[in-house]
């Protein structure tokens, strides 16, 4: 069994975490990952206090294991954050502050509520800023990942952040979908891995079945980093683009961001309808390059167990063979 110090810090069995995904409301998925010994996380972006309370109640009805609540700092509602703090999750998972935001008071409030704090960073300066503000764990998120990401790939980013943050433990994210990815993360100096796309294609994921199948069918070469999903949604992110499948929606608007802005209202209606209908060509489909490693929709617990077992086998049997 693989155990790293982060397992003790976050009170989990396996160093495997679910990324908080604000656009995906999935208490069952959160509970399944936590029950399997990983760290589940509920994305709270866009949720009001009552929805957060209901989500946490649904998670706690299914597990008494630790889980995280995830907030995007640039767009955090005070009433939602206050409600989350009252619920005292084991972990508060933060990401995406604006450059002008003071992080310390926000992180201090989470610590005062008894939470451990993970903080996602796509670059070394952000990681240092989070550590200075008191983060307990840095999630080093490479550009291969699904959803909003920065520009640096995981392979150089993870060790650069590990070197920069000293004794603060790091979780690697972006492009990891199996035990090989977890072992690579450990070799790069991280203490575990955080995954998004792999869990989107799980039984408990609330995505439309067509979208899960689109992840399984994707070869991982067919994603694009763009602002298009955000322009259609009428949102501005603080220095991020999002990785999604290169489908009809992306092909139509790529290079024509100005035209999408002009037609934003009608494009949004089309996107929302496509989401409801499971139309994989017209709905933006967030996924990482690791979609090419995902060959079946599986129960979340099985995903956690398979990753843990495969990583163990590589560490115990495959890699030692290379030592002389
Ligand atoms: C659909 C989707 C929504 C996401 N939303 C959030 C979010 O609200 N907060 C956050 O911290 N990360 C979010 N992420 C990023 C994940 O937490 C994670 O860093 C990323 O998925 C890792 O890369 P992978 O997809 O290759 O595993 C999202 C990712 C996806 C695919």
pLDDT at residue 258 tops 90 = yes
Same domain, 68 and 187: yes
Q: How far apart are CA 207 and CA 181, in angstroms?
A: 24
Say what the pLDDT of residue 22 is: 86
pLDDT of amino acid 260 = 97
Same domain, 135 and 175: yes
41 C-alpha to center of ligand 1: Å? Answer: 11
Distance (Å) from CA 120 to ligand 1 centroid: 10
Position of tokens 């999630």? Answer: 139
Residue 163 CA to ligand 1 center (angstroms) comes to 24
What backbone torsions phi and psi does residue 202 show, to the nearest 5 degrees?
-120, 165
Q: Is the CB of 288 under 6 A from ligand 1?
A: yes
147 Cβ closer than 6 Å to some ligand 1 atom? yes
Which CATH number fits the domain that encloses residue 139? 3.20.20.70
Closest ligand 1 atom to Cα of 287? 31
- CA terminus-to-terminus distance, the chain: 24
Domain identity same for 76 and 127 = yes
Question: Could you report the per-residue pLDDT of 287-324, keeping only the tens digit for each?
Answer: 999 999 999 999 999 999 999 999 999 999 999 999 99
Mean predicted lDDT score pLDDT of the chain: 97
At 23 the pLDDT is 80
What mean pLDDT do residues 239-252 have?
95
Instruction: Judge if 238 and 146 occupy the same domain.
Output: no
Q: Tell me which of 226-240, 241-255, 272-286 is least confident.
A: 226-240
Site to substitute for ligand 1 among 17, 52, 94, 147, most atoms within 8 A of C-beta: 147
Measure 106 CA to ligand 1 centroid, in angstroms: 21
**Span 183-198, mean pLDDT?**
98
158 and 120 together in one domain: yes
Rounded to whole angstroms, the Cα distance separating 180 from 60 reads 31
Cβ of 38 less than 6 Å from ligand 1: no
Q: What is the pLDDT of residues 40-82, one digit of tens each?
A: 999 999 999 999 999 999 999 999 999 999 999 999 999 999 9
Our answer on whether the CB atom of 145 is closer than 6 Å to any ligand 1 atom is yes
Q: How far is the CA of 16 from the centre of ligand 1 (A)?
A: 14
Beta-carbon contacts of residue 21 (< 8 Å; ≥ 6 apart): 43, 70, 147, 196, 200
The atom of ligand 1 lying closest to the CA of 289 is: 26
Do 194 and 173 contact (CB within 8 A), yes or no? yes
Which residues, in sequence order, are CB contacts of 198 under 8 Å at separation 6+?
176, 177, 178, 290, 293, 294, 303, 307
306 and 282 belong to one structural domain: no
Query: Is any atom of ligand 1 closer than 6 Å to the C-beta of 72?
Result: yes
- 316 and 171 part of one domain: yes
Distance CA 308, CA 200 (A): 18
Please state the domain count of the chain: 2
Structural domain that includes position 142: 5-206+291-322
Answer yes or no: do 121 and 264 share one domain: no
Do 128 and 106 lie in a common domain?
A: yes
Residues 114 and 44 in one domain: yes
User: Is 229:284 a contact under the CB 8 Å cutoff?
Assistant: yes
263 to 234, 237, 259: CA distances (angstroms): 11, 19, 6
Question: Could you tell me if 229 and 115 lie in one domain?
Answer: no
> What is the reported pLDDT for 154?
98
What is the pLDDT, as a whole number, of residue 198?
98
Q: How many CB atoms lie within 10 A of CB 8?
A: 9
Do residues 26 and 12 share a domain?
A: yes
């Amino acid at each position: 069994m693989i155990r790293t110090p982060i397992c003790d810090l976050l009170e989990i069995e396996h160093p495997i975490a679910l990324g908080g995904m604000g656009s995906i409301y999935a208490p069952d998925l959160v509970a399944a990952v936590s029950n399997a010994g990983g760290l589940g996380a509920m994305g709270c972006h866009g949720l009001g206090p009552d929805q957060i309370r209901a989500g946490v109640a649904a998670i706690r009805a299914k597990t008494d294991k630790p889980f995280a609540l995830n907030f995007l700092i640039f767009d955090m509602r005070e009433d939602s954050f206050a409600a989350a703090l009252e619920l005292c999750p084991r972990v508060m998972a933060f990401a995406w502050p604006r450059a002008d935001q003071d992080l310390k008071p926000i992180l201090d409030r989470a610590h005062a509520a008894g939470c451990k704090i993970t903080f996602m960073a796509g670059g070394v300066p952000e990681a240092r800023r989070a550590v200075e503000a008191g983060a307990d764990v840095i999630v080093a998120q490479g550009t291969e990942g699904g959803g909003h990401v920065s520009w640096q790939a995981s392979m150089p980013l993870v060790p650069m952040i590990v070197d920069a943050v000293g004794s603060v433990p790091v979780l690697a994210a972006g492009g990891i979908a199996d035990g090989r990815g977890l072992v690579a993360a450990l070799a790069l100096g991280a203490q575990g891995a955080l995954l998004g796309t792999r869990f989107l294609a799980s039984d408990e994921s609330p995505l439309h079945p067509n979208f899960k199948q689109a992840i399984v069918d994707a070869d991982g070469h067919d994603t694009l980093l763009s602002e298009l999903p955000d322009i259609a949604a009428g949102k501005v992110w603080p220095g991020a683009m999002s990785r999604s499948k290169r489908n009809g929606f992306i092909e139509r608007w790529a290079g024509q961001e100005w035209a999408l802005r002009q037609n934003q209202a009608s494009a949004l209606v089309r996107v929302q309808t496509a989401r409801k209908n499971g139309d994989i060509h017209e709905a933006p489909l967030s996924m990482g390059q690791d979609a090419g490693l995902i060959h079946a929709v599986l129960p979340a617990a099985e995903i956690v167990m398979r990753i843990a077992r495969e990583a163990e086998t590589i560490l115990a049997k495959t890699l030692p063979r290379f030592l002389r």
